[in-house]
Structure 1
Amino acid sequence: MNLTDELERSFGDGPVPRPVDDHLAAGRSALRRRRGVTGVVGAAAGAVALTVVLSVTGGTSPDTSPDIAADPTPTPTADTSAPAEPASAPWTDEMTVVRYRDGELEVRPGAVVHERIDNPYAYEAPQASAALDVTFEGRRSWVIATLRRPAGPSSKVEFGYSESTPSNGWASFADYVADQTDQTTGGNNGWPDTLVLTGSGDVVASPGSEILQRTDDPQLGPTFAAPGEPTGAALVTAAEDGQGYFVVWRIVEGQLDVIYTPPIDVVGATFEELLSYARMQYAGGEGLR
């Protein structure tokens, strides 16, 4: 007896199998149901993503995106505070009491102006000139300052400065200004005659005056005289008033030009100290006038 055959017969034949076509139809229905569920889930996910994007970019849903919200940016406001006053530039020399800065005339702090005449040379803007009767540190002087802008693309602004002792040859401050700006005479400096030019081209003391110390090579540089022009410097006593003066001179086109330093500036200074000061002034472009 075959035991395997006996066991198979004991189970019976079981239910009749369904036709193959029924299995295929059932499978297609199940597939359609799965696809429909997937489409619904995908559509729902797409709606959620769109909502997040709107919340971030539009900021219309603060409850759903608290980390994105921010305080509004304040509107910038104009600064209504007054600008700080620019600091005055330091005075780099010890002699001039007025100067031009950015085209405007400035008076040295502490100086007292007794009288002022604006633009005595009648320059046209942006050039300018001014004459002042001024006292600084106990010394009174008459000064004329000019601001020149020669024509030409490479020309630079030139500052001119001349100073005279009050009443040193003039009856009044107005006379001094008129004399200095007289284009026909070229201006008289008001100083006493101390040096004269001889017919042989030598510079000597005027009659009654005395040269105490001198050099014919003061080394004042090209801002004082062109190469080859005779120059010099000296301590002299004037016959006219007996005062001592430190002077520098140059001979330009056969004419002697003597530049004086007020007597008060000579007291207590050696000839070498005065000469060093003159060199510094001309090296800086200021000069002694």
Structure 2
Amino acid sequence: MNLTDELERSFGDGPAPRPVDDHLAAGRSALRRRRGLTGAVGAAAGAVALTVVLSVTGGTAPPDSAPDVATDPTPTADTTAPVEPASAPWTDEMGPVRYRDGVLEVRPGSVVHERIDNPFAYTPPQASAALDITYDGRRSWVVIELRRRGGKDEVTYSASVPSNGWASFADYVAEQVDLTTGGDSGWPETVVLTGSGDVVASPGSEILQRTDDPRLGPAFAAPGEPTGAALVTAAEDGQGYFVVWRIVEGTLEVIYVPPIDVVGATFEELLSYARMQYAGGEGLR
């Protein structure tokens, strides 16, 4: 007896084998499942890569989905930081200095060689300054004043070529102060104020032409302050001077134009020049 044969017969024949076509169909289904799983994994990897790009470039994930990659919080504006007001622009007709909101400002690009603060000794909020300054290749000595007239701030500005009759910048400033305060200015006396409040030629001087309504504007005098302008021959040196004046609180202030600037000009031309200077905020000094 063959023991191996007996054992095989004891198990019986078992179930009938599946047809070959069934085995092939099952194999194809398994292959499709493996391919579908691989595609799903690839799609998930693609979604992660897309989220990274959006995070770097500032994009955002769709509203219904949670971000796959942590990102830094979006920066927000600091609303507590002080905001500096933009400086008012400088225009071509402006000089190299100005007063803005009571503060003296120097035009960008200017070089200040020397500066004297408040030479007129004004009490705040009034102020004054004198500067030896170069702007746009041109050096000049300037005086600027901030005065309170009729409840309003008024600025007057004047400029001169350096050393134009003065030994130093300090001498120039001292003369401008004397012109305004009525001290010994170095200019010859041309007009004086009488006890009755009239402006007349000084003894020996002669007024050739004059007007008591020069229309120099609020930069020169406050409304109601007496003003005037004249072409005068001074008794002291026989020179012709164009002068403008104002009477402030009973004091006569006379401003001179040097004789060199008067020669060849008519009275009307000098008046027009003075009006233009005060309208531009520069003045005659």
Task: Please report the TM-score for the alignment, with normalisation by the length of structure 2.
Answer: 0.50
Task: Please report the TM-score for the alignment, with normalisation by the length of structure 1.
Answer: 0.49
Pick the structure with greater CA Rg: 1
